Structure 1
């Protein structure tokens, strides 16, 4: 029952944030740069985060909240219950009018995910997991059965800034050398959801990911039968260096590709 409650709240909170964000999608909004020219934020991000937090605080007023915007925690606590939220994952897509963006919410305890949800309102898709099964729009989904890398489709994820474009180039080269095709999604949670539902066979980065970009999607992949590790093939954690996610069947080839990109601490 506890996990069912947290799954329900994750879904409600993701829906609340997405409802705020979609109202302003493809409208005139002010865009601010954060640390880079493609690292942007809008007032819609901030307002959507408030809606997500309000939906969580009512049933769980004492839980920690880890979030991308404003003054929320930036690191998942070592112990206790916490929520990891991203009001608009894929903000660069959002501000350009591209539909691939969403609101992600994950419930964790003692650093381990219990439940997660990501709402992609412009795509009319909602994903969630209770830790045992992953669903898209209410229907159970599983990872793909592709076992031939040359038939596989893989996405490089997160963003290599201008001082790391050599790694971005190596990531793309490593993928196209080994796999049938490459997708650049522009939204980490959408890419991870794609592995969970089988529309992608893998996702890779050598970067240390932010928890709000990854935790909900990683939980979905694992519950859908997939594999998520760090660059060394060890079980991925929210503070791991690198993220290699796959359907499991092509994971060794995914690791080869990841290691070719190079390690960044």
Structure 2
């Protein structure tokens, strides 16, 4: 399992590079923003971060493939692939909201084995590798192990979700609203942040209906190494299902049932 230690060390180096670039552009008066074909925004910080990380990986892991949100797939001669979301939370970034971060993952085949989330505007970083545990801190030298909560009852749970319009489009909005009513507290922290709060034990459930691989790959090792569960809406483990249900593990089956078509009919 210790074979991922070097990869995790590289992930910290990549995060240092990303933090330097992104913070230099955060709240910059000359920040350049345009719309992608899917009408989501992309800033010059997004592209600059991804280019820099790709350059480092080309030097240090030339045999590994790379998948990034802004520039697609490149290289790779084996089953290892680095997955990059240069700025997760671009809408926050361009509005000056500090909840955004760089997501870096290493996948072996279809499984994320290393995850790094760095949120420099929050002064915090989260990371994990398979078999090595999950940690958080300002940097690697200030690491604290993290663990999901032990909450067992829905009535005691803190529930986190993405914006409601996406759930409306999936036909599951009624189920999400029912979860909000059944849980102790609900808040929409959004993007990577809800999952990191889950891994730290501050919230107990985080769900999103529509995601890409780069949105999730880095989150999976952190949540699971912290003792949580991470599946898609069908209950399939991992980051490849296009949706996310992350919990402390104790509540997972209950949440999946409530979000299922059968659960919706039972409302």
**Residue 228 to residue 14, structure 1, CA distance change in 2 (3 Å):** same
Question: Quick one: distance in 2 between partners of 1:168 and 1:21?
Answer: 35
Unaligned runs of 5+ in 2: 138-142
Partner of 1:90: 89
Decide whether the 8 Å contact of 1:194 with 1:200 is kept in 2. yes
Partner of 1:178: 182
Query: Residue 28 of structure 2: SS of its match in structure 1?
Result: coil
Give TM-score, length-normalised by structure 2.
0.86
1:198-245: CA deviations, max 9, x gaps?
1221111333x2111111111111111111122232323x32143211
Question: Match for 1:33 among 3, 28, 35?
Answer: 35
Determine which structure has more spread, i.e. the larger CA radius of gyration. Answer: 2
How far 1:104 sits from its partner (Å)? Answer: 0.8
Partner of 1:191: 194
How far 1:160 sits from its partner (Å)? Answer: 4.5
Partner of 1:105: 104
Question: Quick one: distance in 1 between partners of 2:226 and 2:153?
Answer: 19
Question: Quick one: distance in 1 between partners of 2:237 and 2:183?
Answer: 23
Question: Quick one: distance in 2 between partners of 1:227 and 1:31?
Answer: 36
Question: Quick one: distance in 2 between partners of 1:121 and 1:155?
Answer: 22
Decide whether the 8 Å contact of 1:204 with 1:258 is kept in 2. no
Alignment map for 1:162-241 (pairs within 5 Å): 164-165=168-169, 167=171, 169-170=173-174, 172-187=176-191, 189-207=192-210, 209-236=211-238, 238-241=239-242
Unaligned runs of 5+ in 1: none
**Residue 199 to residue 20, structure 1, CA distance change in 2 (3 Å):** same
Partner of 1:115: 114
**Residue 222 to residue 131, structure 1, CA distance change in 2 (3 Å):** same
Question: Quick one: distance in 2 between partners of 1:181 and 1:106?
Answer: 31
1:127-181: CA deviations, max 9, x gaps?
11022200001110011111121221122237855x9557474364133122122
Decide whether the 8 Å contact of 1:78 with 1:111 is kept in 2. no
Query: Residue 237 of structure 2: SS of its match in structure 1?
Result: coil
How far 1:9 sits from its partner (Å)? Answer: 0.9
**Residue 197 to residue 85, structure 1, CA distance change in 2 (3 Å):** same
Query: Residue 58 of structure 1: SS of its match in structure 2?
Result: helix
Question: Quick one: distance in 1 between partners of 2:38 and 2:183?
Answer: 30
**Residue 110 to residue 158, structure 1, CA distance change in 2 (3 Å):** farther
Q: How many residues align?
A: 255
Q: 2:145 aligned with 1:140, yes or no? A: yes
